[in-house]
Amino acid sequence: MTGSANGNGGVGSGESLFAPARLWRLLRRDAAGMTGFILVVAIIATAILAPWIAPYGPTEGDFLNSRLPPAWMEGGSSAHLLGTDQLGQDVFSRIVYGTRVSLLVGGLGALLAVSIGVTLGLLAGYFGGWFDSLVTGFTNLLLSIPYLVLVIVIATVLGRSLTNVILLFGITGSPIFVRVTRGEVLRLKRMSYVEAAVGLGASAGRIIPMHILPNLAGPLLTLATFEVSAMIFYEAGLGFLGLSVPPAVPSWGNMLSLGRQFLTIYPWLAIFPGVAIAITALGINLFGDWLRDALDPRAQERG
């Protein structure tokens, strides 16, 4: 029954697993999934519309009003909702612009990781042999080094730039996609419809896109969604240690790094960027949980 997720092979409902109408119907019935979806859309909109949402530029310093607490606290100003940092930069505006860095790193990093991982996993799983041994060995090797340490060391060597950070997460994030893809390919290769296609003389160039990839789409999309959230976490962690994008760039990690220095005197500098990270991770995880169920062919009868 997991035979084919492409075309109209859906079980029970007769429509594709990815049909927008089906997904929308499922989403409307799932309060948690819907919450996640709305949060994710709002966060993406914030990143795109940052210049219109943020009342100030991200590096616009108002020295006369530096170190202001949030508006509702004593000494706060309604001109700076979440207060200002030691350079008089508006915390709310920097958080709004920081959405861009986080989504770029999470989105492009996950996209790169999927591209590398799926390509290597497909080739390794489908053709086997020495290439498979090489890819599997290297994957196990990368996964055996504690991830946070691996990322810190590579970030140190690469230096601080947005491109480097995206490359770093794209490469170090790929082993998990290699592993999942390779495992699925090995399973699918034994399915009778794939064996039949091979028997009828279909080439790898036809079997992989027609029979293998469509069945991988669901699990990979779910995994990639969670990976976006994980990479946003790791980027913030690197920024916190001063190893991510250059210090002047408004990113949540850089803001937390600054917040740590002033933690006991101006705690709001550390609190609000973390709230932004938590809300983003909450949205992506709620949406991802829903997506996992929605794209699981075995659960499709429920649709």
Partner 1 sequence: MFRYVVRRTLESVLLMLGVLVLVFFMVRLTGDPVSLIIPMDAPMAQREAFREMMGLNEPLIVQFGSYMLDAMQGDLGTSLRRRGEANLDIIMVRLPATMQLAFAALAFAVLVAVPLGLAGGMRPGSAIDRVARSVGLAGQTIPSFWLGMLLIVLFAVTLGWLPSFGRDGFSSLILPAVALGFAGMGQLVRLTRSAVLDVRRADYVRTARAKGMQGARVSFRHVLPNVAIPIVSVLGIQFTYLLGGSVYIEVVFAWPGLGSLLESAIRDADFPLVQAITIFISLFAISIHLLTDLLYGVLDPRLRRS
Residues forming the site for partner 1 (CB under 8 A):
137, 140-142, 144-150, 152-154, 156-158, 229, 233, 236-237, 240-241, 243, 256, 259-260, 263-264, 267, 270-271, 274, 277-278, 281-282, 285-286
Contacts of 136 (CB under 8 A, 6+ apart): 124, 178, 182
**16, 204 in Cβ contact below 8 A?**
no
Min dist. Cβ of residue 259 to partner 1 (A): 7
- DSSP letter string, 131-168: HHHHHHHHHHHHHHS-HHHHHHHHHHHH-S-HHHHHHH
User: Which CB, 59 or 140, lies closer to partner 1?
Assistant: 140
Tokens of residue 192, six digits: 């009778």
Min dist. Cβ of residue 270 to partner 1 (A): 5
**234, 169 in Cβ contact below 8 A?**
yes
User: Which CB, 55 or 137, lies closer to partner 1?
Assistant: 137
Quick one: DSSP state of residue 84?
B
Amino acid sitting at position 24 = W
- Please give the backbone phi and psi of residue 210, each rounded to the nearest 5 degrees, phi first: -85, -40
User: Which CB, 99 or 229, lies closer to partner 1?
Assistant: 229
Min dist. Cβ of residue 226 to partner 1 (A): 8
Min dist. Cβ of residue 229 to partner 1 (A): 8
Min dist. Cβ of residue 290 to partner 1 (A): 13
Amino acid sitting at position 265 = I
Task: Count CB neighbours of 101 within 10 A.
Answer: 24
Min dist. Cβ of residue 27 to partner 1 (A): 18
61: which strand partners?
89
Min dist. Cβ of residue 138 to partner 1 (A): 8
User: Which CB, 208 or 256, lies closer to partner 1?
Assistant: 256
User: Which CB, 35 or 66, lies closer to partner 1?
Assistant: 35
> How many CA within 13 A on the CB side of residue 275?
11
Alpha-carbon gap, residue 67 to 85, rounded angstroms? 5
Q: Name residue, tokens 């699918």.
A: 188
Alpha-carbon gap, residue 296 to 181, rounded angstroms? 16
Tokens of residue 264, six digits: 């006991």
User: What torsion do the CA atoms of 49, 51, 54, 59 make, to the nearest 10 degrees?
Assistant: 140
User: Which CB, 44 or 210, lies closer to partner 1?
Assistant: 44
Min dist. Cβ of residue 154 to partner 1 (A): 7
Alpha-carbon gap, residue 78 to 300, rounded angstroms? 51
User: Which CB, 150 or 217, lies closer to partner 1?
Assistant: 150
User: Which CB, 92 or 240, lies closer to partner 1?
Assistant: 240
